[in-house]
């Protein structure tokens, strides 16, 4: 067992025979496509940092299966300290990439499936825990990237899966065989799927017995026969095709989303982790969502970059000493650290499940994600306020480098005299990227909808709020005797 370098990881992707489409064309070599490369670089960094002595404490851990060092992304949490390590890793990687680095969904899926499989085995004497344990061992041994896949298109959301006019609007089993199953359907919003070796699928909602064919969890390679990946469109994405650096904002790193289509995909029996046990679909969804919601500590790291960019914009604009600017930076920091504190809290309060794997505190995890659905938007507003309108109206890099007109841009986009005009342009584009462009997908929109949109957390908070117990506390203090 050996940890891969980032370069070895990229070469492993090159060996995959992915069926990827973008802008109506099939992409023959995804690893060489300029729109995909930044997101691939972000994943590659998670490999390189695992081998860096400065970061290996955050990026690696001993496998509970083998005792050997593995990437933390491929680990089943064995203690609250593992959960805390994950949160701190997320912030660090957000600081280094200022984008979504695409691997936390897979880790959260592995952990949710692992603990749920144990519960299913206890009731039905299935072999799911052994299946997922063997799968985790495979992922650890080969040092792979697993893409977690939960969200179905859902069609008419007033109807359950089995009542949809088109039965494929939720991923489903269309054939059961002695050696496995055949599935049809789609998973949407798949973060980093083109950069992944494997896809691990889960149900997207709690289900009734009538939805048996939809209560399915399994894993297959991303290049399995019958899989088609349709790359998602993002604002400003074609700037990456313009052979420029300034206008992209974040030229080295990025994220991506895609739809993954399953058209009669065969899943071997040993790769199945749930197969019709509908009463456990809700547990799997709840545990995955619980694990994934504090994973948004990554937005704290991206927030650190945004705060730094905003402070630089203030410096470059010559307003850094203004009291209202200082107050805006303080407010951004307060909001950012509030997200981080709730992510840490739900991890420190994590408890052991029957499987031996640890689960975060579900109430605090949902509070964390509720904060994430709000605070980055306010931070983005404050960043845009500090930067000023030139963030979105400045001319292109091509104009800046044009011999005929570039000197006008150099002259009139100058801020503080000691700061190069290009530096000011670069920081403005970075703020634009994080709050409006391709980076906003990973920072703002993903903050809102990733791991469930705001109402999903509010439903869980209502379920876990213990209002009746709190009423009794109030009655006791007020000396009310029913």
Residues with catalytic function: 100, 104, 191, 257, 292, 296, 298, 446
DSSP 125-187: --SHHHHHHHHHHHHHHHT--EEEE-----SSTTS-GGG-SSGGGS-EEEEEETTEEEEEEEE
Question: How far is the first Cα of the chain from the last one, in angstroms, to the nearest whole number?
Answer: 64
Residue 15: Cβ within 10 Å count: 9
Which has the closest alpha carbon to 12: 47, 60, 62? 47
Cβ–Cβ < 8 Å for 357, 111: yes
436 within 8 A of 239, measured Cβ to Cβ: no
In angstroms, the CA 304 to CA 306 distance is 5
Only one residue has tokens 């790769």, namely: 271
d(Cα 9, Cα 47) in Å, to the nearest integer? Answer: 7
Element (H, E) at 258: strand 258-268
The residue among 344, 289, 443 whose CA lies nearest residue 88 is 344
Q: For residues 96 and 74, what is the distance between their CA atoms, to the nearest angstrom?
A: 20
Rounded Cα distance between 329 and 326, Å, is: 5
- Rounded CA separation 248/264 (Å): 39
Residues contacting residue 67 through CB under 8 Å, at least 6 positions apart: none
Q: How far apart are CA 233 and CA 216, in angstroms?
A: 29
Instruction: Tell me how far CA of residue 426 lies from CA of 23, 54, 237, 250, 435, in angstroms.
Output: 28, 29, 17, 9, 14
Task: Let me know how long the chain is.
Answer: 482
C-alpha–C-alpha distance, residues 410 and 420, integer Å: 9
């Amino acid at each position: 067992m050996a940890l891969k370098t980032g370069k070895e990881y990229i070469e492993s992707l090159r060996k995959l025979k992915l069926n990827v489409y973008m802008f109506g064309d099939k992409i023959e070599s995804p690893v060489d496509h300029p729109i995909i490369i930044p997101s691939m670089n972000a994943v590659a960094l998670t490999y390189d940092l695992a081998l860096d002595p400065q970061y290996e404490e955050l990026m690696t851990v001993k496998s509970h299966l083998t005792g050997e060092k593995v990437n933390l992304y491929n680990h089943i949490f064995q203690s609250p300290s593992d959960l805390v390590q994950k949160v701190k890793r997320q912030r660090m990687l957000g600081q280094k990439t200022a984008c979504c680095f695409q691997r936390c969904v897979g880790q959260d899926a592995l952990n949710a499936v692992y603990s749920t499989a144990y519960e299913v085995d206890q009731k039905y004497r299935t072999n799911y825990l052994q299946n997922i344990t063997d799968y985790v061992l495979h992922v650890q041994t080969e040092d792979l990237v697993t893409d977690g896949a939960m969200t179905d298109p859902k069609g008419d959301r007033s109807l359950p899966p089995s009542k949809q006019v088109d039965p494929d609007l939720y991923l489903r089993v269309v054939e059961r065989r002695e050696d496995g199953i055949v599935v049809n359907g789609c998973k949407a919003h798949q973060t980093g799927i083109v950069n992944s070796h494997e896809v691990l699928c889960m149900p997207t909602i709690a289900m009734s017995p009538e939805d048996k064919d939809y209560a399915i969890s399994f894993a297959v390679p991303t290049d399995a026969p019958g899989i088609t990946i349709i790359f998602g469109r993002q604002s400003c994405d074609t700037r990456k095709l313009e052979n420029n650096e300034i206008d992209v904002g974040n030229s080295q790193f990025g994220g991506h989303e895609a739809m993954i289509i399953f058209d009669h995909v065969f899943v071997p029996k040993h790769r199945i982790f749930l197969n019709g046990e509908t009463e456990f679909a809700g547990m799997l969804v709840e545990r995955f969502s619980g694990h994934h919601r504090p994973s948004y500590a990554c937005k704290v790291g991206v927030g650190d970059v945004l705060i730094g960019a905003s402070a630089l914009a203030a410096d470059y604009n010559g307003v850094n000493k203004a009291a209202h600017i200082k107050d805006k930076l303080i407010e951004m920091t307060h909001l950012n650290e509030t997200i981080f504190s709730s992510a840490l809290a739900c991890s420190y309060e994590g408890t052991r499940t029957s499987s031996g794997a640890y689960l975060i505190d579900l109430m605090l995890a949902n509070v964390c994600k509720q904060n994430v659905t709000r605070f980055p938007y306010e931070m983005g507003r404050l960043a845009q306020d500090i930067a000023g309108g030139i963030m979105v109206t400045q001319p292109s890099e091509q104009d800046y480098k044009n011999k005929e007109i570039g000197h006008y841009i150099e002259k009139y986009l100058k801020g503080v005299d000691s700061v190069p005009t290009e530096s000011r342009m670069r920081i403005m584009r970075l703020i634009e990227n994080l709050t409006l462009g391709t980076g906003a997908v990973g920072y703002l929109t993903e903050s809102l909808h990733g791991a469930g949109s705001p109402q999903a957390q509010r439903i869980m908070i209502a379920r876990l709020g213990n209002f009746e117990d709190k009423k009794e506390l109030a009655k006791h203090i007020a000396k009310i005797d029913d």
